[in-house]
Amino acid sequence: MNNKTREWGGIIKAVNTPIAFLVLGVLFLNAVMGVVALVQAEYRGVLVFTLVASVLSLMAIVVALGVFRPEALQGVRPWHEAYPPRLADDLYMAVEGAFDNLNQVEREEAWATLADVLKTARKDDKDYKKFCASVAERIALRVATKKRLQKSRQSPRKGAVKA
């Protein structure tokens, strides 16, 4: 019993990427269909066709993922897609207080300078440049949102009655 537990533990530890999980799932389904094909002779042709079709489908899925999203086969999320909003929000929150001490023109110039520095970073590394551009876009969005909020607070409300 102890050896079987180790074998199952090894199998479970081996399934640590999405592609490994997909392969394990297809192997399990094919094993079940194979057993059913042996028992049910009248459905054998359909089940064998299903076995072949499932293997071909797996191959097509792997090829498509390899072409369009190769990182998905490894089970990693691209850092230039996952982390820019977090970093931009953290950076904005950290610097916003200091920039609020500046007058309006200086504050806008400081945010524009920060965005320009991020957008012009390391042209040789495409992933890093994409990451920095995403951070700069998110910061620009936060600055524009704050500017609209301040304008709406300063402008008199429609329909407000003056006393």
Average pLDDT, the chain: 80
Backbone angles phi, psi at 155, to 5 degrees: -80, 140
Backbone angles phi, psi at 114, to 5 degrees: -60, -45
Model confidence pTM above 0.95 = no
DSSP 120: T
Q: Residue 157: its pLDDT value, please?
A: 61
- Between 78 and 139, name the one with better pLDDT: 139
Position 53 pLDDT exceeds 80: yes
